[in-house]
Structure 1
Amino acid sequence: MPDTYNVTLWPRLEPGELGLYIFTGNSIVIFRCLKETDLILIHSNKLNLTLFDGFHAKLHAMDGPAPPAIKKTWLQKETQFLVVQLNGNLIAGISYGLYTQFQGELADDLAGFYRSEYYEDGVKKIVATSQMHPTHARKTFPCFDEPAIKAIFHITLIHQRGTVALSNGMDIETVNTTINGTAVTQTRFEPSKKMSTYLLALIVSDYDFIESEEDKVLIRIWARKKAIADRHGDYALNVTGPVLKFFESYYNVTYPLSKSDQIALPDFYFGAMENWGLITYRETNLLYDPRISSNANKERTASIIAHELAHMWFGNLVTLRWWNEVWLNEGFASYVEYLGADYAEPSWNIKDLMVLNDVHRVFAIDALASSHPLSSKEEEINKPEQINELFDAISYSKGASVLRMLSEFLTEDVFVRGLRTYLKDFAYSNTVGSDLWDHLQRAVNETNTILPSTVHEIMNRWVLQMGFPVVTINTKTGDVSQQHFLLDPDSIPDRPSDYNYEWYIPIRWMKSGVPQGQFWLLTDIVTNNIMIVTGADWVLANINVTGYYRVNYDLDNWNRLLVQLDSNHQVIPAINRAQLVDDAFNLARAKKINTTLALSTTKYLSNERDYLPWESALDNLDYFFLMFDRTEVYGPMQAYLRNQVVHLFEYFKQTTSNWTKIPEGHTDQYNQVNAIRMACSTGVDGCEELTTGWYNEWRQHPANNTIHPNLRTTVYCSAIAAGGVAEWDFGWEMFLNASLASEAEKLRSALACTKQPWLLNRYLEYTLDPTKIRKQDATSTIVYIANNVVGQPLAWDFVRVRWEYIFTEYGASSFSFAELISGVTKRLSTKFELNQLEQFKEDNIQGGFGSGTLALEQSIERTKANIKWLAANQKQVKEWFENESEPKENF
């Protein structure tokens, strides 16, 4: 068990003789022997270790007799271990020091200690930065690279004069010196807290910063000098203090470090990383400029900062023992980020957005027979790629949704009470998931909270079996039952369940708009629940969608709900209007109700002005676009949606004084974007003229972009789709010159909207050239192109032909393969396309699919379901749209 690491690293920010960027270093790890052994296994990957008398390491005793001599050392490639075989045994209870000296490549692979590049005033700048999570610390220095093996780190960085070095702790000594004739600066940092290797951070750059102080904690935002000078870090600085304060009081634990650094990096795979005391971000997620950034960018900055700061306690102070329970770490932060952001920006009502962003998003994946439980067995997760695969929507969004449900049925007071004792008891150590349930159970007992069973029993069913239930309520008989919800009812789940796919379900419900309290569904069925039998009243269950399940009703009740939506939709809460639409469309796909019933939930939308139901409807109709935009159904569908959205378009045109103002409400601003996007894509009169007019005005005055930041993504996309090469080339030039990453991001997605196949093919080629599209953005660019009906076959061909190159070039453990495979295949819906997909799997089975392995299986399953769905629904859907889009009286 290691106690401390003393690590010195020297990254070279200029290429050496072979054009390679390198770093050199040495490390001594002091560890205690717990049990006699003649073998030391320490992780080391892609490092050239210096040999001492033919061995890769030196060993000495810290206290007690000298250690046995080293017999031999070797590197075990598959397990990424440096193996040190000794002539005799180490003695239990004695501490030893293992010394290594090494050289590694400061590559641009976004893993371990790596380099990021950017241009400032025409000059190429290099940042040496790090991403240790989950298994890349071993690529930086030999270490015991597992979350349960915590230690204290003493870090020294040697760096080019004129640059600044950062790590988890404060710098305590900076001296200029000369090493082998090279003038350098040496920075030593205060020892870290006891922590896991994956939280270590090391950065050398010539960045600038802004700072403030909150209760003796130094808060600094670091970025490129120009970004700091242009005040792009101000918003992050303003939000960080309040959010830190919020979590201190929420957890009832003082922030344990002397400083909180946050830094924006040009190249970064994740959205951000919670390194303790030095959080790293993609530029798009930390930097904000009110003149250029949209309200969505602002929300992203606030919620990502809240997510990462939540980890400073939950994850960093108390760490899960192994990656098989990563869901608890990421799911927890994904839940409480809404609480932190809500505290910083109370006028946004951001907590409601969790239903769209997390609950509905993950339902789509968790309803597949190839889904997986939140928690895996420890022995199933061994290799780095298996660990990487766990960082998916199930871990983040289902984890968040299930924890939100738990907090709701326990009440927040009881939830927080258990959480606080958990953090206090396990500070600086490791836990397993059931430890949290123990502490919550203790809080339940202390407060006499009534539950149908123990917290363990209730939560095991949500955590140890995949999927979720659909609750069916029959208002004629009062029967309430549950069943495992599968999008394809004929599919068979990949895994058997010890719990028989039954859950403890908390049901909060209302009758004709009046809340009725909560009951629990425990067994298969609750019969003759007299309260539920209704006459003319309608019943609606899962108020505010606090439960992680879908709800189905008897046909009479569905019809009563549709009548209510039509006559006065506001009697039903906005979140539940969004739920009715989402549940209906998915129940229809699972053949539990008729597709035309699901479509009927959208008929009232011509009177709807709220963002949540509109967004829910558009998310679900997106599937219809994917299935039908190459068929004869497309025309009538466009006509129907045009009739629905024209009212929203006109509403925003009036309330914004002909588009000259921006709506007040946070989500109203989102809905204004929806109104323009859908109006333009369905051909509402005047919409395309509006967007192309704005874009052309910008083309005439490139230095003065008057398009409001909220509307830019939509306006750019609409104008580039309507235009030709001139519009595309202008967008590309503006993309290359954008000084703010979030503006570049808007243009990058809009460039994929063109309808010209040759431009899309050229753009696909650009994704393999890092001087044009950064490596971190390559996969999402290909997916943007695949989202375009013209681009989809081009992107699919491109990925199949180039798979081997993409796979090797972008690293077998890259996180984005799942996103790539799923993105380019989601429109596939014919037997021919299914054959192509299965052939793609067969052709590349040798090289493999890395973190995209599961996504490929899910794509095959989804394509089969699409084929079946189309065969069953195409005719009736076409007829429904034709009937409903008959001209009614004019608007």
Structure 2
Amino acid sequence: MAKGFYVSKLVAFVAIFFAIAAVATIIALAVVYSNEKSNKDSESGGTTSETITTRTTSSFQPGTGSPAFGPIWDRYRLGKHLVPDHYDIDLRPVLTKNDHGLYVFHGESKAHFTCKVIIEHVVIHSRKLNYTEEPILTDADGNTISAKKHFLAEKTSYLVLPLNELLQPGKKYTLHTKFVGELADDLAGFYRSEYVEDGETKIIATTQMQATAARKAFPCFDEPTLKATFSITLRHKLDYVALSNMNVLNVTTEQWQNEPWQITKFEKSPKMSTYLVAFVVSQFKADGDQLIKIWGRKKAIEDENQGEYALNVTLPILEFFETYYNAPYPLPKSDQVAIPDFSAGAMENWGLIIYRETALLYDNRESSINNKERVLEVISHELAHQWFGNLVTIRWWNDLWLNEGFASYVEYLGADHAEPTWNIKDLTVPYDTHRVMAVDALTSSHPLTSKEEDVNTPAEISAFFDSITYSKGAAVIRMLSSFLTEELFVEGLRTYLSQFAYNNTVYTDLWNHLQAAIDKNNFQLENKIEDIMNTWILQMGFPVITIDTTRGLVQQQHFLLDPKAVVTQPSQFNYTWIVPITYITRTSLQNHFWLKQHSDVHTPFDLSGQGNNWLLANINVTGYYRVNYDDGNWDRLLQQLNTDLSAIPVINRAQIIDDAFNLARAEIINTTRALETTRFLTKEVEYMPWQAALNSLSYFTQMFDRTEVYGPMKAYMKQQVTPLFDYFKNKTNDWNIRPATLQDQYSEINAVSMACSYGIRECGELATRLFNLWKNSNVNGIHPNLRSAIYCEAIARGGEEEWNFALEQYRNTTNAQEADKLRAGLACSKEPWILNRLLEFSLDSTIIRKQDTVSTITNVVNNVIGQNLAWDFVRANWGKIYQQFGGSSSFGNLITGVTKRFSTEFELYQLKQFKEDNQDIGFGTAIRTLDQAIERTEANARWVNQNKAIVQEWFEAAVKP
């Protein structure tokens, strides 16, 4: 009742009703406004004093269009209502099983943060952590903030602490937590790895936080833009060593459960994202000095010296990037650790890079040249991230392409600096450009970036860790650097890194700095850099450039492997690109031209009346596009290859093959035209053209190795590869010495592998002889370069005895690279029951490590006999496979592998049925790959129906005397 006057009950009720409604409306509008304003302020680094009461409102996400009502913990994005300043993390991994048979870690955390808006809940990421005491919130003076009982939002991975009072903007608070987590062998967060040394099983506690697994190790604001500093403390037994991002600050001891334990405290880190936090507790040994150390198993580091190569190349690469970025290495040390069980190839944690053993360790006696190159490139990739990614970090995962694409490009520059004789920069074309075009030519591909609000859940984030992100990202950045010049590109890059150090960016920030460098140097570029690059970043796919040399007409169109496919993804550019075209003719040097619309007439492209003059476009494949020509120009190019192939650059010899086969699949040129590009290979000894042919013809193998076409195809390839096999037999003195250059060694490997695959008798006998010498003497005299090919051929030609011998060697070797070669060889058996045995082993982590499960299954698929066996195995075990690996960024490789031969209506039906049957289980990070597999199968079926007879006829004619 109100004081001072009287009204009736009815009038009072009506008045109160409308008053409440009016106030509620005002409050709702004010809340929406405050949400919008607080978000805009936080985006720009500002603060606001508007109130957010989480009884009725939630964290607003930029651009989502979502209503402002509903609890914060129902959303996957935190926003910036609470911004972390610093974390004190204290962890005790217990590397023996507890009474329940589990390995666990005990943790204490203090998350210090600043409040940006009035709010009445603390919401912080947490997953699979059990809180042993009620979380406590204190203010800057140490006063406890009254709170209700905490709860966990499992779906969105939050610890939620409801408060009895409101937090105030601009004030600092600390969340104190104590918790226990499992050190599972799931390869994510803070997890467990195992190995056997001197007959003893040893346990490692290690981490993999990217992208959303730091919340499994400690409660945190687990988003890349929410950077903070970290002080890490690790408690462990005395015979273990602890590593983290920073150097050790001090070491003390304590008694815990009647045993002495060591307390290792690390220096405070610079401001960084949670996904870059790392720690390792192990009995590893190190090779190196105060700045650089290579860590691994004692036997690998001290006995076998497997860390020496990584140590030798790390410093030159670091020094290269210091010069390249014009910035000193940001941290006081660089530890690099080889872990036996690791889901990715490596992870760029700041100052503590973690690798698979195969990506860091190298043994001169057991490792191949390919192993050596991989170690070099992965180290270079991860060191590149120490600046680009770690020092300057993307704001959100939708721009992952910039982070990974850039590192995938400059890894070749760092590697080239460390091994200047390898000519390694050219290998980006077969490794990245040509490989990713096969995916990007599907309608189920995706643009490099997307709207931030479209990427929220951990599964959506993980799906971005694909070949488009890494390899297409590398290809378009390489193209950008090429048309700008490397000098100008680096100038813009340096100012970008300088301005945004210890901060976050979006990709357009890089464009702005490149444009500033362009303007400063008066570089002639007809379009703004953003306008050019947006055509490559904001729409999927790439163009095929068709050049008619009889009229000088140049045209572009969206290249699709399946010409019948319907593109449903809209594009603001209508699938037209601003294309930098480089070209030469038989009589002229390199020139360039910009194609900015669908078609243009360009006079230098008109070769009419010039006899046997030809034109070749996309020199050294610096552009991310394919090239087609009129029939006359195709004829003249092939004539040149068959008479004097040296007139065409080696990368472009590979390009001609790769483009032609893909153009044929897309029904742009005849399949026989593509096959004609392989005739000159009898004169070719360079690696890249042969590798392009192998990659291209692998599609023919996949489509036809279960049909009558494969007989004449095999005979033709035997005919083509015999000169290469003989060439390297002579060059290597009957396979006893190795060629001098990297790519010549790769050519030798291809010569042996193809000769054995296509039935050259001498190769098969060589494989059997070398394998039996090893089996009978227990001394492996097979050179590491040739082991993959020899193991596969010998096991294929042998039986159970050879397979069991290889399995025994696999289980006993302590060299991870040798283990990979043997594991691949085991999949070459011709016995179905043996292959089924290997498939069963793939899910037994006591035999095959979890990190190798997917590749073991796809190895079996590579064997034509194993195709159906592996497909049946995957379908029968999908629930178990998904549970263990569905969140892995490499999970899509499984779907790609088991479906690559699918080319019939029945296989298409099976694939669609598989998708329907497993909707309830799910597909995790492989969902996009599954859609791509369906699209590819439809295209394969159509292509086989149209081309089977033509291909068989061509191969039969090509092998006639």
- Report if TM-score (shorter chain) is over 0.5: yes
Q: What's the secondary structure of 2:478's corresponding residue? A: helix
Aligned counterpart for 1:549 among listed residues 625, 628, 651: 625
Counterpart for residue 84 of structure 2: 2
- Give the superposition deviation at 1:681: 1.2
Q: What's the secondary structure of 1:70's corresponding residue? A: coil
Counterpart for residue 228 of structure 1: 301
Within 5 Å, which residues of 2 pair with 1:498-647?
A: 498-512=572-586, 514-534=588-608, 535-536=610-611, 537-647=613-723
The separation in 2 between residues aligned to 1:159 and 1:334, in whole angstroms, is 36
The separation in 1 between residues aligned to 2:209 and 2:256, in whole angstroms, is 27
Q: 1:114–1:130: 8 Å Cα contact kept in structure 2?
A: yes
CA deviation digits over 1:232-252, x for unaligned, max 9?
000000000100000000000
- Give the superposition deviation at 1:85: 1.9
Counterpart for residue 165 of structure 2: 88
Q: What's the secondary structure of 1:753's corresponding residue? A: coil
Whichever residue aligns with residue 209 of structure 1, its letter is: A
CA deviation digits over 1:118-169, x for unaligned, max 9?
0000000000001111100100111000000000001100001210000000
CA deviation digits over 1:287-345, x for unaligned, max 9?
00111110000000011000000000000000000000000000000000000000000
Whichever residue aligns with residue 521 of structure 1, its letter is: L
Within 5 Å, which residues of 2 pair with 1:443-842?
A: 443-512=517-586, 514-534=588-608, 535-536=610-611, 537-702=613-778, 704-808=779-883, 810-842=884-916
Counterpart for residue 102 of structure 1: 179
Is 1:45 aligned to residue 127 of structure 2?
A: yes
The separation in 1 between residues aligned to 2:333 and 2:490, in whole angstroms, is 25
Q: What's the secondary structure of 2:544's corresponding residue? A: strand
Q: 1:115–1:127: 8 Å Cα contact kept in structure 2?
A: yes
The separation in 2 between residues aligned to 1:530 and 1:806, in whole angstroms, is 57
Is 1:76 aligned to residue 76 of structure 2?
A: no
Q: What's the secondary structure of 1:60's corresponding residue? A: strand
Superposed structure 1 runs of 4+ greater than 4 Å apart: none
Q: What's the secondary structure of 2:830's corresponding residue? A: coil
For the aligned residue pairs, the C-alpha RMSD in angstroms reads 1.0
**Cα pair distance change 1:68/1:292, threshold 3 Å:** closer
Whichever residue aligns with residue 621 of structure 1, its letter is: L
Is 1:24 aligned to residue 106 of structure 2?
A: yes
Aligned counterpart for 2:140 among listed residues 59, 62, 70: 62
Q: What's the secondary structure of 2:335's corresponding residue? A: strand
Aligned counterpart for 1:118 among listed residues 161, 172, 195: 195
The separation in 1 between residues aligned to 2:930 and 2:298, in whole angstroms, is 42
Is 1:219 aligned to residue 297 of structure 2?
A: no
Q: 1:212–1:237: 8 Å Cα contact kept in structure 2?
A: no
Q: 1:370–1:494: 8 Å Cα contact kept in structure 2?
A: no
Q: 1:43–1:82: 8 Å Cα contact kept in structure 2?
A: yes
Whichever residue aligns with residue 724 of structure 1, its letter is: G
CA deviation digits over 1:810-863, x for unaligned, max 9?
143122320001100100111111111111111101111001111111111111
- Give the superposition deviation at 1:72: 4.2
The separation in 2 between residues aligned to 1:81 and 1:632, in whole angstroms, is 58
Q: 2:558–2:576: 8 Å Cα contact kept in structure 1?
A: yes
CA deviation digits over 1:430-479, x for unaligned, max 9?
00110000000000001111112101111111001000000010000100
Counterpart for residue 54 of structure 2: none
Aligned counterpart for 2:415 among listed residues 341, 354, 361: 341
The separation in 2 between residues aligned to 1:318 and 1:818, in whole angstroms, is 29
The separation in 1 between residues aligned to 2:587 and 2:580, in whole angstroms, is 19
Q: Which runs of 5+ in 1 are unaligned?
A: none
Q: What's the secondary structure of 1:664's corresponding residue? A: coil
Q: 1:513–1:571: 8 Å Cα contact kept in structure 2?
A: no
- Give the superposition deviation at 1:529: 2.5
CA deviation digits over 1:637-656, x for unaligned, max 9?
01111110000001111111
Q: 1:303–1:341: 8 Å Cα contact kept in structure 2?
A: yes
TM-score when scaled to structure 1? 0.97
Q: 2:133–2:179: 8 Å Cα contact kept in structure 1?
A: no
- Give the superposition deviation at 1:530: 4.4
The separation in 2 between residues aligned to 1:642 and 1:723, in whole angstroms, is 22
Q: What's the secondary structure of 2:255's corresponding residue? A: strand
Q: What's the secondary structure of 1:640's corresponding residue? A: helix
CA deviation digits over 1:508-539, x for unaligned, max 9?
10011632411100011112524433422100
Aligned counterpart for 2:369 among listed residues 295, 301, 308: 295
Identity level (%): 56
The separation in 2 between residues aligned to 1:513 and 1:779, in whole angstroms, is 51
- Give the superposition deviation at 1:179: 2.6
Q: 1:36–1:91: 8 Å Cα contact kept in structure 2?
A: yes
**Cα pair distance change 1:822/1:513, threshold 3 Å:** farther
* Count of matched residue pairs: 876
The separation in 2 between residues aligned to 1:815 and 1:612, in whole angstroms, is 29
Q: 2:284–2:298: 8 Å Cα contact kept in structure 1?
A: yes
- Give the superposition deviation at 1:180: 4.2
Is 1:135 aligned to residue 212 of structure 2?
A: yes
Counterpart for residue 261 of structure 2: 184
Decide which moves more: 526-535 or 868-877. Answer: 526-535
Q: Which runs of 5+ in 2 are unaligned?
A: 1-82
Q: 1:286–1:301: 8 Å Cα contact kept in structure 2?
A: yes
TM-score when scaled to structure 2? 0.90
Q: What's the secondary structure of 1:355's corresponding residue? A: helix
Q: 1:67–1:90: 8 Å Cα contact kept in structure 2?
A: no
The separation in 2 between residues aligned to 1:530 and 1:522, in whole angstroms, is 17
The separation in 2 between residues aligned to 1:376 and 1:51, in whole angstroms, is 41
Q: 1:62–1:95: 8 Å Cα contact kept in structure 2?
A: yes
Q: What's the secondary structure of 1:308's corresponding residue? A: helix
CA deviation digits over 1:663-683, x for unaligned, max 9?
111111011111111111111
The separation in 1 between residues aligned to 2:590 and 2:87, in whole angstroms, is 59
Q: 2:886–2:926: 8 Å Cα contact kept in structure 1?
A: no
Q: 1:825–1:859: 8 Å Cα contact kept in structure 2?
A: yes
